[in-house]
Amino acid sequence: MKYQSFIGLEVHIHLLTKTKVFCGCRSAFGDEPNTNVCPVCMGYPGVLPALNIEAMRMGCMVAKSLNCTIPEKTWFERKQYFYPDMTKNYQISQFASPLGQKGWVDLEGKGRQGAIKKRVRITECHLEEDAGKMIHTGTASLLDYNRAGVSLLEIVTEPDMETGEEAELFIQQLRRTVRYLGVCDGNMEEGSLRADANVSINLPGKGLGKKVEIKNLNSSRFVRLGLDYEIVRQGELLDAGKEVIQETRLWNENRDETAIMRTKENAKDYRFFPEPDLPVFTPDAAFLKSVEEALTELPLKRQRRFEADYGLTEEQADLICEEKAQADYFEAAVKQACGQGLENKDAAGRIANWLLTDIKHILHRDGISASEFGSFKLTPQRLASLLVLIAKGTVSGKNGKQTLEAVLAEDKDPAAIIKERGWEQIVDPAKIAGIVQTVFAAEQATVDELRSLLSGGNPKRTNTLRAYLVGKALAATGGRADPKIVGTQVEQLLQA
Ligand SMILES: [Zn+2]
């Protein structure tokens, strides 16, 4: 690579507070336009904002999870600029004392060119209010102020990433983290997680180049595509002896390219000054304790623990830890299965397998999202007892899968269903021997041919005939006989 590239991200997340950050208006997506507004969030003269402590707590939870320091004092500034979706002509934000400072994130994942492992420094996290939304109809521009004043946390990184893929992984990891913390739904399509990316390139050792910002990237894939496009575009400019212009660009997803939006304003144009209507916030011991208590084991850490403690593959752990509810479900089921006598890794392997195949298929088919695991009729306890029944040979794998469907349809325990349907597996060798004898009597021609082939016949033909007899015996028991015992009995009778 001729040039070195530098990528930094600014990620905005909507915090899941019930009300807006400085007033009591509802904070919700998709309500009728302009129904969640009041004089405070519209910035009428004389009104006073009041800080939503829940927004501050959620912001600090994210900051702590990104290894940031929470300062002893934090306050707000007014960021002056005019825009039609900003009725006050200023936005309340944090400038000099962001609530989270100097942290880091360790990126870990599989990239197209091999493993990605990199520490990305977090510059800061700060709390601010969102602006309203403009909707352009072609003949008019409409304004919806429901979003004005919604709690927004901005997470700013140092320019430590080098490829679009690293930035994509950063967004995915952050998205999973904020969902685990329960502070943001991470829905990029609805705009509750949005990213701006800045990128510059330069000859190695020359430091940062001229910075271009790509605004409003609403999917992690667009982050990757936009940045990779920009790196190539800037490289071609430099190769041609031209200069990169410092500007803001937009990703055009229909044409797969970035296009200029505007040349960049300077930070000083915002004329930040302290917000006079909000007091300085000094987090006390009780507040900090409530932040600590609300923290949770982070997704990547949990994934590594699942690999070590339960012997899952990296891919299994990754898929199971994608949703916190699913990972919780998995651990609860393993605990139950171990309580009923299975060994830890055996239990974990069986549960992971079922979760990622049959259960995943059912969830998909029935339109149940993985976050609804808490109210799933197949409780961790029921899944564990079903898998224990299979492990003990009480029910066959095939009937086990039918039992799974019946548990969901009838909301009953697996053991009760198996008993009611007579699905217990037949494991008595004498009983199976009798069934095999009956089959042999009915299939005399096959048996004779097979016996004649036993000493050195075509192995493909002998296998086919063996499988045919085993299949007949299994069918005679309605699939309830243990296939392994049937196989042994068939073999013994052939040799007899
Ligand atoms: Zn309001």
Task: For residue 58, report the distance from its CA to the centre of ligand 1, in Å.
Answer: 19
307-317: pLDDT as tens digits:
999 999 999 99
Rounded-to-integer distance, Cα 324 and Cα 106, Å: 19
Q: How far is the CA of 154 from the centre of ligand 1 (A)?
A: 21
Cα of 456 vs centre of ligand 1, distance in Å, is 87
Interval between CA 130 and ligand 1 midpoint (Å): 12
What's the 25 CA to ligand 1 centre distance in angstroms?
A: 4
39 Cα to the center of ligand 1, angstroms: 6
Q: State in Å: Cα 41 to ligand 1 middle.
A: 4
Indicate if the pLDDT at residue 371 is higher than 80. Answer: no
Check residue 265 and give its pLDDT.
Answer: 56
44 alpha carbon – ligand 1 mean position (Å): 11
Residue 28 has pLDDT above 80, yes or no: yes
pLDDT at 158 over 90: yes
Q: What is the mean pLDDT of the chain?
A: 92
Q: How far is the CA of 286 from the centre of ligand 1 (A)?
A: 28
Q: How far is the CA of 345 from the centre of ligand 1 (A)?
A: 53
Model confidence over 231-256: pLDDT tens digits? Answer: 999 999 999 999 999 999 999 888 88
The answer to whether the CB of 172 falls within 8 A of the CB of 36 is no
Please check the confidence at residue 177 and state whether its pLDDT lies above 80: yes
Separation of 221 CA from ligand 1 center, angstroms?
34
3-class secondary structure, 330: helix
In angstroms, the CA 480 to CA 393 distance is 10
CA distance linking residue 217 with residue 211, whole number of Å: 17
Cα(56) to centroid(ligand 1), Å: 17
Query: What percent of the residues of the chain are helix, what percent strand, and what percent coil, each to the nearest 5?
Result: 45, 20, 35
Q: How close is the Cα of 35 to the center of ligand 1, in Å?
A: 10
What is the dihedral sign for C-alpha 464, 466, 467, 468?
positive
Phi, psi of 201 (to 5 degrees): -130, 160
Tokens describing residue 97: 């004392």
The pLDDT-based confidence of 454 (bands split at 50, 70, 90) is confident
**Residue 425 neighbours by CB under 8 Å, 6+ apart:** 393, 394, 395, 396, 399, 480, 481, 482
Residue with the two structure tokens 């392997």: 349
Lookup: tokens for 486? 């049937």
Distance 91 CA to ligand 1 centre (A): 14
Residue 486 burial (CB count, 10 A): 25
Q: Say if CB 156 and CB 123 are below 8 A apart.
A: yes
